[in-house]
Amino acid sequence: MRTRSTLHRRRRASAQVATRLRHELAEWARRTGASADMICDIVLSTYEAMANAVKHAYPPNTVGPLELRAELDRDTIVITVVDHGCWRQPDRHAPARGLALIRALSHRAAVVPGPHGTAVRMSWPTSTP
Count of CB atoms within 10 A of residue 77's CB?
25
> Residues 20-59: pLDDT tens digits?
999 999 999 999 999 999 999 999 999 999 999 998 898 8
Question: Average pLDDT, whole number, for the chain?
Answer: 90
Q: pLDDT-derived band of residue 110, with 50, 70 and 90 as boundaries? A: very high
Q: What is the pLDDT of residue 86?
A: 82
Is the distance from CB of 11 to CB of 28 less than 8 angstroms?
no
**E-state strands within the chain:** 4-12, 65-73, 76-83, 108-114, 117-125
pLDDT at 88 over 70: no
| Domain CATH number, residue 48 | 3.30.565.10
* Whole-number Cα distances in Å, 21 to 2, 77, 78, 83: 21, 17, 16, 14
In terms of residue numbers, what domain contains 85?
A: 4-125
pTM of the predicted model as reported, rounded to 2 decimal places = 0.90
Mean pLDDT of 52-71: 92
